[in-house]
Amino acid sequence: MKLSKEQIIELENETITLCQEMIRIPSVNHGEGKGDEKAMAEYVASKLAEVGIKSELIETAPNRVNVVAKVEGADQSRPGLVLHGHIDVVPVNAADWSVDPFSGVIKNGFIWGRGAVDMKDMDAMILATVRMWQRIGYKPPRNILLAFFADEEAGSNYGSRWLVKHRPEIFDGYSEAVSEVGGFSVTITGEHRLYLIEAAQKGIQWMKLTAKGTAGHGSFINQDNAVTKVADAVARIGKYEWPQLETKTSNIFFRNIAELTGDKYDPKNVKSLLHHLGDAVKMLGATISNTANPTMLEAGYKVNVIPQSASAMVDGRFLPGHENQLQETVRKLAGDDIEIEILTRDIALEVEFAGPLVKAMCDAISGEDSAGIPVPYLMSGGTDNKALHDLGIVGYGFSPLKLPKDLDFFALFHGVDERVPIEGLKFGVRVLYEFLENV
């Protein structure tokens, strides 16, 4: 149902207000089970209730609360779509910010605050869209399951993973899903504006490397020093240059980059194309190979005591289909003296950039930006789509935003002075609304 100009303005303004109000609710996830999404979940439920949408609050641990609700579609015979977002945010050091990180203040054309791009902007767009539907009496083409998950920022064990394991019936009848980190614009060489739709995600393998040695006095010569062993292993892993690997998604993405810029496409050397991507290279440069980054060290208890053991944490990320390469390479680089324990492992995802759902995304973007070029991309991190994949639900990242070409967008995720452009957010909710009317 086409909206009038007045209704579009109402939709845009409500998205801005909802985003501000949600930022002001500090639903911080500290990790290790320490988080509190309760107030945020209650806020979402209240906004749904205001327009007659019934929801269920699902508490998976004290103050770890999820919200699910169903919006009935016109065609009950079709599989439904899961429209999901997470309602937790990462911690913040307020002293580093130029504004109160939980103020939701509007400044210089942006809404500022923790969660502005990750991902209360998308949560606001979802809420504003379904609230408008209710006010005008509109039914989407098929059933929509609204899911606002807890704990995405710390592994989803109290959010999507808990629901998939303990309440899988919630997702019965749903075949596809849409969520965060996709549909935003990146301006490349030649002023071409790409809209990156997330169609693949790296897998995760967090590892603990432990070296054993001979304890002793710090003044003695010790050739069996656990700290030295683990330091050597960490240095080899940290300095290793991982070979480039091709995936279906990166093939499409870099072919587009080469064609648009007039550059050469060589699947074995796409690194030569990265300079066209500007600041987006932060994430996209990490998607052409597996990676393993040492992140933490632990050893000893006194400066003059050589400890018996030392350990390091390594954040490993593998491309779809290339998990074995990551494991084998880290094992070889670590050396025989190092024990490797896998602390966390999660799958890589890759879905086809084709079909009616993808067409609806591309059409919605083109309808608002005729010069925009939708392309699939591979994300270096992960989303709640990984949990839904266990139920056979095919997921994409599509939280549309039109961004200023000079905005370092990827630096804002979990960053200081996180903010989202107001005009970009207005664009985003118009695109999302159009998309959801054609799914």
Question: Residue 304: its pLDDT value, please?
Answer: 97
pLDDT tens digits along 235-278? 999 999 999 999 999 999 999 999 999 999 998 899 999 999 99
Spatial distance between the Cα atoms of 313 and 342, rounded to a whole number of angstroms: 10
Question: Residue 130: its pLDDT value, please?
Answer: 98
pLDDT at 8 over 90: yes
pLDDT at 185 over 90: yes
Q: How far does CA 145 lie from the centroid of its chain?
A: 19
Q: How far does CA 222 lie from the centroid of its chain?
A: 46
Spatial distance between the Cα atoms of 193 and 253, rounded to a whole number of angstroms: 13
pLDDT at 43 over 90: yes
Greatest extent of the chain over all pairs of C-alpha atoms, in Å: 81
170 CB neighbour count, 10 Å cutoff? 19
pTM (two decimals): 0.94
Where residue 1 falls among pLDDT bands split at 50, 70, 90? confident
Q: Give the residue from 198, 187, 197 showing the smallest Cα distance to 260.
A: 187
Range 5-181+383-436 has CATH code 3.40.630.10: yes
Yes or no: say if 178 and 82 are a contact pair by the CB < 8 Å rule.
Answer: yes
pLDDT at 56 over 80: yes
H or E stretch including 253?
helix 248-261
Where residue 317 falls among pLDDT bands split at 50, 70, 90? very high
Average pLDDT estimate for 34-56: 98
Extents of the domains making up the chain:
5-181+383-436, 201-346
Same fold, 5-181+383-436 and 201-346: no
Spatial distance between the Cα atoms of 81 and 143, rounded to a whole number of angstroms: 6
Yes or no: say if 395 and 181 are a contact pair by the CB < 8 Å rule.
Answer: no
- The whole-chain average pLDDT of the chain stands at 97
Side-chain half-sphere CA neighbours of 58 within 13 A: 23
Q: How far does CA 175 lie from the centroid of its chain?
A: 20
pLDDT tens digits along 408-423? 999 999 999 999 999 9
Amino acid at 348: A
Spatial distance between the Cα atoms of 187 and 199, rounded to a whole number of angstroms: 19
The residues that bridge with 260 in the sheet, in sequence order, are none
Q: Which CATH number fits domain 201-346: 3.30.70.360, 3.40.50.150, 3.30.420.40, 2.30.30.20?
A: 3.30.70.360
pLDDT at 217 over 90: yes
C-alpha dihedral over 58, 59, 60, 64, to 10 degrees? Answer: 120
Spatial distance between the Cα atoms of 379 and 117, rounded to a whole number of angstroms: 16
Take residue 60 and report the two structure tokens written for it. Answer: 């998976």
Residues 6+ positions from 279 with CB-CB distance below 8 Å: 407, 408, 409, 410, 411
